[in-house]
A and B are shown apart, each in its own frame.
Chain A
Amino acid sequence: MTLDELLDNSRPQIAQRTPELLDDLCLLARETSAMSSQPRGRRRATIASLVAIAVFGLGTAAVASGHLPFGWTTTTGGHCLITSASVIMADPTTTGSEAAFQHSTTAQREAAVKEANRYLTGYEFAGIDVPSAVATWKRSEAAAIAAQPVASERQPRLEGDELEVEAMRYRVQSDLKTHIEKLGLPFDALMPIFESTGTVGPDGVFRCGG
């Protein structure tokens, strides 16, 4: 059995879909309409294409930093915008952060979060050399891909706007890591969160705003 088949078959069983249950689900859709406070009959004026906030990392507690939002025009003509950069405590069960939690105190981790957010608030995003950041990212990406053993499952190389946004995130995160570790604080206990505006099109390609 292939890995895909094993994973597909590991899906837990669900309750039987009886006619009664299906009727109740349809009824629930109506009941929730009445329960919601949204007045009916109000229609949005326009529907823009869905503008996604690309969140790099997990969590939603991003805090706007002093030098943000920061925007730049990419080589493909898109206007990319980093809207926030902040740090929360990592989940200790996440791979990569368990050791940091074992080898640091609560006070050290809290100090790391505080210092990281202070650092990001004062970070000069405008001072980033974008071509240099892209070159650095490409080296890191190439090393990561080379370490992935199964050729058919290797991650694709980033291109276009997605490449530049990721390169910027990587540069800021690398600078933050250097700063935090220089202070003897546990960087791996942190979860950096960067948000940028952009759209994932029907083709699955991420693009910054036009």
Chain B
Amino acid sequence: MSDSDGQSILGLLQHTSTELLAFFERRVLPREDAADLLNETMLQAWRREDSVPEDHERRRMWLFTIAHNVLLNHQRSSRRRSELITKIRQQLAVYQPVLDGSESSEVRDVVLRLPKEQRELVLLIHWDGFTINESAEILGVNASTARSRYAQARAVLRTHLGDATPDT
């Protein structure tokens, strides 16, 4: 697949944009900041075009690794907003999410109190649908470390969520 005209990475970004936006929407407040982070992720992807993997699934992982690093740098970054970003921010603000049940909120609270290295693994697996190995790659840890952390996180969650979580 040729990247010579930029079409390849453009297709990747367009195809993955809504997933990337959701990745940020679930993690930042105010939610509209997700638009800025998506913008930064796309910019970095273009700048690293020479390192995009050939394999389709590897390309998606490559993009989410960039997104994760953008998220880590979020608080340090300064942003300039284009008109388009401002428009996307407005759309994220207008479409208020439907309030979900108290049980989901309670579970979310417990998840968000996990140590951050466990928390982010749980979020990638259960909110974003990645496997443990894929999550390890995005977080920059080896797979065994991720498996160990995930097992620890589940043990903590079972303790806190108690009877609602029978073994399966």
Chain A residues in contact with chain B, CB under 8 A? Answer: 1-4, 6-18, 20-22, 24-33, 35-38, 40-44, 47, 50, 52-56, 58, 60, 91, 93-95, 144, 148-150, 152-156, 158, 162, 165-166, 198, 200, 204-206
| Interface residues in B, total, Cβ within 8 A | 77
Q: Which residues of B contact A (CB under 8 A)?
A: 2-6, 9-10, 13-14, 17-18, 21-22, 25-26, 31, 38-39, 42-43, 45-51, 53-54, 58, 62, 82, 84-85, 87-88, 91-92, 95, 97-98, 100, 103-105, 107-108, 111, 115-117, 122, 125-127, 133, 136-137, 140-145, 147-148, 151, 154-155, 157-158, 161, 164-168
A18 to B157, CA, bound (A): 35
B76 to chain A, nearest CB (A): 13
Q: Which residues of B contact A53 (CB under 8 A)?
A: 140
Given the known inter-chain contacts A2-B168, A7-B157, please indicate yes or no for A43 contacting B3, CB distance below 8 A. Answer: yes
> In the bound complex, do residue A1 and residue B144 qualify as a contact, i.e. CB atoms below 8 Å apart?
no
Q: Which residues of A sit under 8 angstroms from B155, Cβ to Cβ?
A: 148-150, 153
Quick check: B147 and A4 within 8 Å, CB to CB? no
Specify which chain A residues have a CB less than 8 angstroms from the CB of B165 in the assembled complex: 1-3, 6
A43 x B2 contact (CB < 8 A): yes
